Amino acid sequence: MKDLLLNYNDLNEASSFRPVLIVHGLFGSSQNWQTFAKRLILNNFRVITVDLRNHGNSFHHDVHNYEEMVSDLTSVIEKLGAPVDIIGHSMGGKSAMLLSCLHPSYVNKLVVLDIAPVKYTHSQLDKVLALLNVDLSSFNKRSDVDRMLSKDIPDKRERSFLMLNLDRKDEALKWKINLNALKRCMPEIMDFPQKNLKFTKPSLFVSGSNSSYIKKEYLRHIKNIFPNYRLEVIRNSGHWIHADNPEDLFLTLRDFFLN
């Protein structure tokens, strides 16, 4: 996939700091990280936000697994000039972990937000099916799509997050994410490649205080792969730490990157 380059934004390119690459999670995009990226930029960080394959403004492809996502990310890093510091959230965190292990020379410091290198059983397939169940050709207004989605996704915040993927193109509403590929590849997305992986450089795992994604029993898996890791818990936050408590997350990451 070296001929297909992810859509990315290179922000504050004149900074003397090492680039910080931010990798979003499932159903997300670089757009979700613009507010947090601005916070880093105001502190003179150079920030690169990407859209993973089948997300945002990046290309669509039938294959969606961590090996291919790593290949996509290495192409971006090679264009920027390695190494980078990397922040990965959820699915993006798994991609960042695998990239760091397979290409340690490309990564200086690793930050993983609210995910562990394990297989998860709470599939997100129901969200994909809910979006596929909406016949967009029948609607002209986003509010009508939101109302239709509320039957399967009653949580307004979660629905609003998913609705960020709704785009209008040629006067018609379209999903920017490749739902069919995500549906087919969901078992791989929930899994994590079980190889002899190791990354010995500084690694920071960040958990939301109200989240159960990084359980105590997962810490031994983290320690085996990332022996130079530490865990920080951000108060008053769930899985979307960067949205729930951006100030505490920023302070934690700033200290990690600068020390």
Residues 232 and 148 in one domain: no
Residues 18 and 47 in one domain: yes
Residues 105 and 151 in one domain: no
Residues 215 and 250 in one domain: yes
Q: Is residue 241 part of a domain?
A: yes
Residues 94 and 205 in one domain: yes
Per-residue pLDDT tens listing for the chain (259 residues): 456 899 999 999 999 899 999 999 999 999 999 999 999 999 999 999 999 999 999 999 999 999 999 999 999 999 998 799 999 999 999 999 999 999 999 999 999 999 999 999 989 999 999 999 999 999 999 999 999 999 999 999 999 999 999 999 888 999 999 999 999 999 999 999 988 999 999 999 999 999 999 999 999 999 999 999 999 999 999 999 999 999 999 999 999 999 8
pLDDT computed for residue 194 by the predictor: 81
Residues 48 and 152 in one domain: no
Among 134, 165, 183, give the residue marking a domain's end.
183
Among 161, 183, 205, give the residue marking a domain's end.
183
Domains contained in the chain, number: 2
Beta bridge partners of 34: none
Q: Is residue 138 part of a domain?
A: yes
Helix axes 156-163, 142-149, angle to 10 degrees: 130
CATH number at residue 208: 3.40.50.1820
Residues 147 and 108 in one domain: no
Residues 113 and 130 in one domain: no
Residues 149 and 205 in one domain: no
- Domain limits for position 115: 8-120+191-258
Residues 131 and 116 in one domain: no
Residues 116 and 209 in one domain: yes
Q: Is residue 2 part of a domain?
A: no
Residues 238 and 175 in one domain: no
pLDDT computed for residue 1 by the predictor: 45
User: In angstroms, rounded to a whole number, what is the distance separating the alpha carbons of residues 253 and 205?
Assistant: 10
Q: Is residue 209 part of a domain?
A: yes
Q: Is residue 246 part of a domain?
A: yes
Q: Is residue 104 part of a domain?
A: yes
Asked whether 225 and 198 are in contact (CB, 8 A), the reply is: yes
Among 157, 183, 209, give the residue marking a domain's end.
183
Asked whether 192 and 166 are in contact (CB, 8 A), the reply is: no
pLDDT computed for residue 212 by the predictor: 96
Q: Is residue 1 part of a domain?
A: no
Asked whether 52 and 23 are in contact (CB, 8 A), the reply is: yes
Q: Is residue 34 part of a domain?
A: yes
Annotated catalytic residues are: 90, 239
